[in-house]
């Protein structure tokens, strides 16, 4: 039997009255969504709702974003791994976890490392998709106070929708995004796999991309998501680190050191001499993680297959899927949305 993910301790037993209270809270969010927000069908056959300008799939978060805003209390020492889905979240979570836990879990002892036992989404749980997702937590509000500092969480929520306590407390956010075309192709391939697993009618990449460009989870949203964090990283560089997957693939050691420094645990010169940076890069590499039993089997957040988080791990793969016409269409949208921002994607 698979061991319990470490975050499970947040779901401490509660009295019947407390459980009923939690259920009421989630029921209220469901009512708010059903009665006040725009609803539409999603690509996985699920309803989606539009909240504060962004579309959310009920499959990956249900009422989560609303619950996070009301109930998550950030600490100054918290670190949030924020991202657009399919931009390298699984990788960044692995790197951040390995760095934060370097003393208790030295990367030199790879076979016993938690990353060999758990998918990184189980080690760095998503706030809205896992911890405050009523569909996966049995309608319970988690008690995150019992987690020791520094706490590491993930989120796909846009910057403007993060709970106020994140900005007020001074928590740090490490954000990752990626070349938009690669991001969209990666998302499309993920959706294709998931539709197969859910026995939904097959879809082609081109159809899904058309859908992204015209409908919900529009490309503009992906860009606006990145723009929100980009602006925050310019305004609050000590609190928001903005990373690009493509650059990290090109220079992993440089970026890993930046991440460690930003998170407040830079590598010592002794650690560098001992090759710790390269041990972490190897531990978290696509080749290593994608071949681990835990990532070949098993399910993670939202009931997704762990193996669906690993596809090719390459930069520029969109060229193999997008027609010149589609490339041009995307270039126009990207140019228009990013114009004057100083951000390139
Ligand atoms: P591709 O579909 O282009 O291969 P996310 O974790 O945000 O869902 O992003 C998934 C993307 O990151 C996929 O991209 C996946 O293959 C890639 N990926 C997963 N683990 C990785 C790793 N350890 N190193 C580099 N890329 C990784």
Read off the pLDDT of each residue in 159-171 and give the average, rounded to a whole number: 96
Q: What does the radius of gyration of the chain's CA atoms come to, in whole angstroms?
A: 20
pLDDT at 110 over 90: no
Residues pairing with 50 in the sheet: 55
Atom of ligand 1 nearest to the CA of 182: 3
Atom of ligand 1 nearest to the CA of 285: 23
Which of 5-14, 245-254, 282-291 comes out lowest in average pLDDT?
5-14
pLDDT at 172 over 80: yes
pLDDT at 307 over 80: yes
Q: For residue 335, how far is its CA from the centre of ligand 1 (angstroms)? A: 25
Residues of the chain with pLDDT > 90, as a percent, come to 75
304 backbone dihedrals φ, ψ, rounded to 5°: -80, 150
pLDDT value at residue 123: 96
Which of these, 252, 318, 294, 321, lies nearest to 5 by C-alpha position?
A: 294
Model confidence at 194, pLDDT cuts 50, 70, 90, reads: confident
Stated pTM of the model: 0.96
Which of 61-70, 104-113, 212-221 comes out lowest in average pLDDT?
212-221
330 backbone dihedrals φ, ψ, rounded to 5°: -65, -40
DSSP state letter for 305: B
Q: For residue 37, how far is its CA from the centre of ligand 1 (angstroms)? A: 32
DSSP state letter for 115: G
Model confidence at 304, pLDDT cuts 50, 70, 90, reads: confident
Q: For residue 183, how far is its CA from the centre of ligand 1 (angstroms)? A: 10
Ligand 1 touching residue 288 (CB < 6 A): no
Read off the pLDDT of each residue in 50-71 and give the average, rounded to a whole number: 89
- Alpha-carbon distance 67 to 56, whole Å? 13
Model confidence at 59, pLDDT cuts 50, 70, 90, reads: confident
pLDDT value at residue 218: 62
Q: How many Cα neighbours within 13 Å face the side chain of 228?
A: 20
pLDDT value at residue 329: 87
- Alpha-carbon distance 57 to 203, whole Å? 18
Read off the pLDDT of each residue in 269-290 and give the average, rounded to a whole number: 97
pLDDT at 61 over 80: no
Read off the pLDDT of each residue in 183-203 and give the average, rounded to a whole number: 89
Three-class SS state of 54? strand
Residues of the chain with pLDDT > 70, as a percent, come to 96
User: Which of 193-197, 217-221, 262-266 is predicted most confidently?
Assistant: 262-266
- Alpha-carbon distance 214 to 227, whole Å? 20
Ligand 1 touching residue 217 (CB < 6 A): no
Q: For residue 186, how far is its CA from the centre of ligand 1 (angstroms)? A: 8
Ligand 1 touching residue 309 (CB < 6 A): yes
Average pLDDT of the chain is 92
Q: How far, in Å, are 61, 151, 189, 307, 316 from residue 303 at the CA level? A: 11, 24, 17, 12, 28
pLDDT value at residue 211: 78
Q: For residue 239, how far is its CA from the centre of ligand 1 (angstroms)? A: 25
pLDDT at 149 over 70: yes
pLDDT at 37 over 60: yes
Helical H runs in 135-179?
164-169
Q: Which of 60, 86, 174 to mutate to test the pocket of ligand 1 (most atoms within 8 A of CB)?
A: 86
Token duo for residue 143: 């008690």
- Helices 89-100 and 252-262: crossing angle, nearest 10°? 60
pLDDT value at residue 221: 87
DSSP state letter for 206: H
pLDDT at 131 over 70: yes
Q: Which residues are catalytic?
A: 156
End-to-end CA distance of the chain: 42
Token duo for residue 70: 């009301």
Ligand 1 touching residue 279 (CB < 6 A): no
Ligand 1 touching residue 286 (CB < 6 A): yes
Residues 6+ apart with CB under 8 A from 3: 117, 118
For tokens 């989870």, what's the residue? 217
- Alpha-carbon distance 345 to 36, whole Å? 34
Model confidence at 60, pLDDT cuts 50, 70, 90, reads: low
Q: Which CATH architecture has domain 24-338?
A: 3-Layer(aba) Sandwich (3.40)
Determine if the peptide bond prior to 150 is cis (ω within 30°): yes
- Alpha-carbon distance 98 to 107, whole Å? 7
Q: Is residue 330 within 8 Å of 184, Cβ to Cβ?
A: yes
pLDDT value at residue 203: 87
Q: How many Cα neighbours within 13 Å face the side chain of 100?
A: 23
Which of 13-27, 186-200, 211-225 comes out lowest in average pLDDT?
211-225
- Alpha-carbon distance 309 to 190, whole Å? 8
Ligand 1 touching residue 255 (CB < 6 A): no
């Amino acid at each position: 039997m698979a061991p319990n993910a470490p975050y499970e301790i947040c779901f401490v037993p509660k009295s019947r009255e407390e459980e009923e209270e939690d259920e009421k809270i989630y029921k209220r969010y469901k009512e708010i969504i059903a009665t006040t927000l725009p609803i539409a069908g999603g690509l996985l056959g699920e309803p989606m709702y539009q909240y504060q300008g962004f579309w959310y799939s009920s499959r990956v978060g249900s009422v989560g974003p609303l619950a996070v805003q009301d109930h998550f209390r950030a600490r100054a020492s918290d670190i949030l791994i924020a991202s657009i889905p399919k931009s390298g979240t699984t990788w960044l979570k692995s790197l951040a976890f390995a760095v934060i836990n370097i003393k208790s879990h030295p990367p030199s002892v790879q076979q016993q490392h938690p990353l060999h036992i758990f998918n990184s989404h189980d080690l760095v749980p998503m706030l809205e998709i896992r911890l405050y997702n009523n569909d996966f937590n049995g309608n319970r509000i988690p008690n995150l106070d019992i987690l020791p500092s520094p706490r590491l969480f993930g989120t796909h929520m846009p910057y403007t929708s993060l709970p106020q306590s994140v900005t007020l407390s001074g928590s740090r956010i490490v954000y990752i995004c990626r070349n938009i075309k690669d991001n969209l192709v990666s998302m499309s391939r993920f959706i294709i796999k998931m539709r197969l697993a859910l026995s939904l009618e097959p879809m082609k990449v081109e159809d899904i991309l058309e859908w992204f460009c015209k409908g919900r989870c529009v490309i503009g949203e992906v860009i606006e998501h990145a723009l929100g964090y980009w602006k925050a990283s310019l305004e609050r560089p000590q609190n928001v680190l903005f990373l690009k997957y493509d650059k990290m693939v090109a220079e992993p050691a440089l970026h890993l050191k930046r991440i460690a420094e930003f998170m407040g645990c830079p590598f010592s010169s002794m650690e560098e001499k001992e090759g710790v940076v390269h041990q972490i890069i190897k531990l978290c590499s696509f080749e290593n993680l994608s071949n681990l039993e835990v990532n070949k089997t098993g399910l993670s957040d939202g009931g997704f297959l762990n193996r669906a988080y690993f596809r090719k791990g390459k930069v520029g793969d969109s060229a193999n899927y997008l027609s010149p016409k589609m490339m041009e269409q995307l270039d126009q949208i990207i140019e228009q949305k990013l114009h004057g921002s100083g951000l390139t994607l």
